[in-house]
């Protein structure tokens, strides 16, 4: 009889519970996750790990649950500096009278750098390890995310009119093509195309975006069917629902991410199913702006992949994805009038595996499996007011445990240790945020 071979790994994490996401609905007790380099080397019962693995570092988390890092599939990171600037307003009033004027006055490269770092700090602190962003100066957002070590899909903006980032579609597309080339095949930064919405981008720029996406194998993310008035206005002007127009143009494909989709009829659902496009649900932003309810349960039953996002902090007003899951699960039950709709486990999958599918990276993100990237978070469930714990998955969704995230690793690199951010200088960041707040207060009162 030969002695069992001992496998050397970089890190061993022992936890009370592990939720791997796949197989669906599974909760593992007293398991260890082994990390070697940037990958998960194994996931075994702790007693087996004692005999089979030797780790350079062992982390004991006896009151924690481990799960894949959360994927926030839609937001406008730099808009964190506009948090609370214009609340309790309908969408178009909020945009036309407050947000767009404020952007024209304040947004530049330094605003985007500081606002994005603030957003990244908040997301890391509450369990997000990958986010999708659609905002001006995407090259700055990409560099900021890369420097911090968080994964990000960076969608460059495309609109018919001039903005602080460019004169129009020609410049946006030229800059965007360069962004895609710069970050091609990077494991952290995933450049994508971000047409703002059907009502702000005409057919010709959209057709060029579709061709660019095909040429570069890039994803497209756009706001679609966010409000009833958007759909009604489109029908009045074009005779078509926006989803039908996008389908006819060829924009809806398995590389497309449709954000919001609060308005949906049978034709819209058929377009989504037939095209293989993904939907990004932003429940709290939709509630706050009175935009409507995304029929998540109906779409999931039809086979549409639905992921989740926070939207920007100017319309949410936080980037805590666990809170978003809580809201999403409750809304799904009320909208479908079915208490079984969007269960706790399904909600967790929406924020992990479904986001990875929308990114086209479910082969290496979204679940805890040997060989996948070690993007992992730990949530401490020792809070006295969290007790007793019968089902940790239910606790994560229905009790909003975002603030209880204690550790995170992205590609095996610690990003959060005992609640402390390892790669963000928080005191310096707070000074920068305070400076921006003073400028915005003074400028908004002019």
Residue 148 has which token pair? 């911090």
> Which pLDDT band holds residue 400 (cuts at 50, 70, 90)?
confident
Q: Within this chain, do residues 353 and 383 fall inside the same structural domain, yes or no? A: no
> Which pLDDT band holds residue 2 (cuts at 50, 70, 90)?
very low
Q: Residue 342's domain is classified under what CATH number?
A: 3.20.20.140
Q: Residue 378's domain is classified under what CATH number?
A: 2.30.40.10
Q: Within this chain, do residues 148 and 248 fall inside the same structural domain, yes or no? A: yes
Q: Where would I find the beta strands (DSSP E) of 227-292?
A: 256-260, 278-281
Q: Within this chain, do residues 211 and 322 fall inside the same structural domain, yes or no? A: yes
25-39, 77-91, 218-232, 337-351: segment of lowest average pLDDT: 77-91
Count other C-beta atoms under 10 Å from residue 428's C-beta. 10
Is the pLDDT at 4 greater than 80? The verdict is no
Residue 220 has which token pair? 């497209």
Inside any domain, residue 31? yes
pLDDT in tens, 401-436: 889 999 999 999 999 999 999 999 999 999 999 999
- In this structure, the chain runs to a length of 446
Q: Within this chain, do residues 152 and 257 fall inside the same structural domain, yes or no? A: yes
What gap in Å lies between CA 61 and CA 377, rounded to an integer?
Answer: 11
Sheet with strand 28-36: strands edge to edge: 39-45, 28-36, 7-18, 53-68, 376-380, 405-410, 413-417, 420-421
Domain that holds residue 307: 70-359
Count other C-beta atoms under 10 Å from residue 386's C-beta. 16
- Phi then psi for residue 417, to 5 deg, are -130, 115
Strand 189-195 relative to strand 151-158, pairing: parallel
pLDDT in tens, 163-213: 999 999 999 999 999 999 999 999 999 999 999 999 999 999 999 999 999
Q: Which residue matches tokens 């924009």?
A: 251
Count other C-beta atoms under 10 Å from residue 61's C-beta. 18
Q: Within this chain, do residues 18 and 139 fall inside the same structural domain, yes or no? A: no
CB 279 within 8 Å of CB 243: no
Inside any domain, residue 422? no
Inside any domain, residue 416? no
Q: Which residues contact 28 (CB under 8 A, 6 or more apart)?
A: 17, 18, 19, 20, 43
What gap in Å lies between CA 302 and CA 206, rounded to an integer?
Answer: 27
Count other C-beta atoms under 10 Å from residue 133's C-beta. 29
Residue 345: C-alpha distances to residues 19, 25, 428 (Å): 9, 6, 38
What gap in Å lies between CA 57 and CA 46, rounded to an integer?
Answer: 15
Is the pLDDT at 383 greater than 70? The verdict is yes
Inside any domain, residue 300? yes
Q: Within this chain, do residues 319 and 399 fall inside the same structural domain, yes or no? A: no
- Average pLDDT score over residue span 110-120: 98
Q: Within this chain, do residues 79 and 57 fall inside the same structural domain, yes or no? A: no
| Beta bridge pairs of residue 377 | 67, 408
Q: Within this chain, do residues 313 and 270 fall inside the same structural domain, yes or no? A: yes
State percent of the chain over pLDDT 70: 99
Count other C-beta atoms under 10 Å from residue 24's C-beta. 13
Number of domains in the chain: 2
pLDDT of residue 343: 97
Q: Within this chain, do residues 395 and 295 fall inside the same structural domain, yes or no? A: no
Alpha carbon of residue 229 to chain centroid: 26
pLDDT of residue 3: 55
Inside any domain, residue 441? no
pLDDT of residue 444: 63
Q: Within this chain, do residues 130 and 207 fall inside the same structural domain, yes or no? A: yes
CB 288 within 8 Å of CB 331: no
Inside any domain, residue 276? yes
> Which pLDDT band holds residue 5 (cuts at 50, 70, 90)?
confident
What gap in Å lies between CA 174 and CA 42, rounded to an integer?
Answer: 44
What gap in Å lies between CA 174 and CA 183, rounded to an integer?
Answer: 15
**What rounded mean pLDDT belongs to the chain?**
96
pLDDT in tens, 263-282: 999 999 999 999 999 999 99
Q: N- to C-terminal Cα distance for the chain?
A: 83
């Amino acid at each position: 009889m030969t002695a069992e071979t001992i496998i050397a790994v970089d890190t061993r994490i022992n936890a009370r519970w592990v939720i791997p996401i796949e197989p669906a609905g599974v909760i593992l007790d007293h398991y260890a996750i082994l990390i070697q380099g940037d990958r998960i080397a194994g996931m075994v019962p702790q007693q087996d790990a004692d005999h089979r693995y030797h780790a350079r570092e062992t982390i004991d988390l006896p009151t924690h649950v481990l799960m894949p890092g959360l994927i926030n599939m839609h937001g406008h990171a730099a808009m964190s500096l506009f948090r609370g600037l214009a609340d309790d307003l309908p969408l178009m009033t909020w945009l036309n009278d407050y947000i767009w004027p404020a952007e024209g006055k304040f947004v530049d490269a330094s605003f985007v750098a500081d606002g994005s770092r603030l957003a990244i700090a908040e997301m890391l602190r509450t369990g997000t390890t990958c986010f999708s962003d659609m905002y001006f100066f995407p090259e700055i957002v990409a560099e900021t995310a890369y420097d911090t070590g968080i994964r990000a899909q960076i969608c460059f903006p495309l609109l018919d009119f001039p903005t602080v980032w460019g004169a129009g579609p020609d410049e946006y597309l030229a800059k965007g093509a360069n962004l895609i080339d710069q970050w091609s095949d990077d494991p952290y930064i995933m450049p994508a195309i971000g047409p703002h919405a059907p009502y702000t981008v005409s057919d010709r720029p959209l057709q060029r975006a579709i061709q660019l996406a095909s040429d570069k194998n890039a994803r497209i993310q756009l706001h679609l069917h966010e409000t009833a008035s958007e759909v009604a206005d489109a029908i009045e002007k074009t005779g078509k629902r926006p989803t039908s127009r996008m389908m006819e143009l060829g924009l809806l494909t398995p590389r497309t991410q449709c954000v919001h989709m609060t308005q949906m009829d049978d034709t819209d659902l058929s377009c989504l199913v037939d095209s293989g496009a993904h939907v990004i649900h932003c429940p709290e932003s939709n509630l706050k702006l009175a935009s409507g309810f995304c029929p998540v349960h109906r779409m999931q039953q039809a086979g549409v992949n639905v992921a989740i996002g926070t939207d920007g902090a100017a319309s949410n007003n936080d980037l805590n994805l666990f809170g978003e899951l809580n809201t999403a699960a409750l809304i799904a039950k009320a909208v479908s009038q079915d208490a079984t709709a969007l269960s706790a486990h399904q909600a967790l999958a929406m924020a992990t595996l479904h986001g990875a599918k929308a990114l086209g990276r479910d082969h290496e993100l979204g679940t805890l499996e040997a060989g996948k990237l070690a993007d992992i978070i730990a949530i401490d469930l020792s809070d006295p007011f969290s007790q007793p714990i019968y089902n940790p998955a239910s606790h994560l969704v229905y009790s909003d445990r975002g603030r209880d995230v204690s550790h995170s690793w992205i590609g095996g690199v610690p990003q959060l240790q005992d609640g402390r951010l390892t790669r963000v200088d928080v005191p310096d960041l707070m000074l920068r945020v305070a400076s921006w707040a003073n400028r915005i207060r003074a400028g908004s009162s002019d």
